[in-house]
Amino acid sequence: MKTTNTMIKGLVLVGAILASSSAMASADLYKKCAGCHGVHGERKAMGKSKVIASMGEDGVKTALHGYKDGTYGGAMKGLMKGQVARLSDAELDSLAKYIATLK
Q: What residues line the site for ligand HEC (CB under 6 A)?
A: 32-33, 35-37, 45-46, 48-50, 52, 60, 63-64, 73-77, 79-80, 83-84, 95
CB of 47 to ligand HEC, least distance (A): 8
> Smaller CB distance to ligand HEC: residue 2 or 32?
32
Q: What is the dihedral of CA 12, 87, 67, 42, to 10 degrees?
A: 60
- Measured from each CB, the residue nearest to ligand HEC is 33
Can you tell me the distance from the alpha carbon of 76 to that of 27, in angstroms, rounded to the nearest whole number? 24
- Asked whether 41 and 99 are in contact (CB, 8 A), the reply is yes
